[in-house]
Amino acid sequence: MADTTNPQFPPLEKPPYHVGIIMDGNGRWAKMHGKHRIEGHKAGTENLRRILESSVEFGVKMLTIYAFSTENWKRPPFEVMGLMKILEDVIDRELAELNKNGVQLRHIGILEKLRPSIRKKVLHAIDMTKGNDRLVLNVAFNYGGRQEIVDAVKCVIDEGIPAGQITEELLSQHMYTANCPDPDLIIRTSGEFRTSNFLIWQAAYAEYYITPTYWPDFDKAEYYKALQTFSQRDRRYGGRNE
């Protein structure tokens, strides 16, 4: 049988199952190129396509992307509206192809605060792709980690669960990411060393990879390097591995 492996990207021994990405640096990328910030967000969206394809190739099964935080509402209305429109356009343009490629789309965050046309498209995309299993793509849009914990606590109280029955597992099952394994690796582009409220509950033992590269320039080779770095990490979870 012919060897189909790409010599530049030999199969990884231990690819992370679940990768989270804080797709940061679109604004600075735009500035660097003398473009408007919105152009940076568009370039960032284009980049997502190659990272999705590479995820499948590199053996990643679940990807959670941070696209809009609960704090991003603080930005000028023009930029917020631009980001909403980009989400809508991406669904319109890419859904059929994503579905064809076996991507299962999910959303984490608060959908209710988004305009009805977006809500409708997101729910349609989730429904259409729910049977796919090549790659699960969680889109964190209007997502905040603290808000997620608050919502989980509210749910637990609404369900009348007594304090004595509250465990870490139970709270995990009430997060937006219920039924998703915790992220193994969180990548942040653009060189910022902070979580910015992304998966703060789930990432308790995630490995972090931070690169100065702006998100639109984060390419397949750099993604591979991040995954390779991950496979060399010694994950101890507070214990000892020897």
Report strand pairing: 62-69 vs 103-108.
unpaired
Q: Which two tokens stand for residue 31?
A: 């500035």
Geometric angle at alpha carbon 39, from 36 and 42, rounded to 5°: 160
Identify which range of 6-14, 123-131, 166-174, 190-198 contacts ligand IPE by CB under 6 A: 190-198
Which helix H or strand E contains 27, and what residues bound it? helix 26-32
- Looking at the Cβ atoms of 92 and 192, the one nearer to Mg ion is 192
Residue 214: count of CB within 10 angstroms of its CB: 25
Give the nearer residue to ligand IPE in terms of CB position, either 125 or 139. Answer: 139
If DSSP codes are grouped into helix, strand and coil, which group holds residue 207? strand
Q: How far is the CB of 24 from Mg ion (least distance, A)?
A: 4
Q: Is residue 218 involved in binding ligand IPE (CB under 6 A)?
A: no
Binding mask 55-94 for ligand IPE (x = CB under 6 A): -----------xxxx--x----------x-----------
Cα–Cα distance list, 16 to 12, 89, 234 (Å) = 9, 30, 13
Active site residue 72: yes
Q: Which of 190, 202, 216, 230 binds ligand IPE (CB under 6 A)?
A: 190
Q: Which C-beta is closer to Mg ion: that of 74 or that of 100?
A: 74
Active site residues: 24, 72
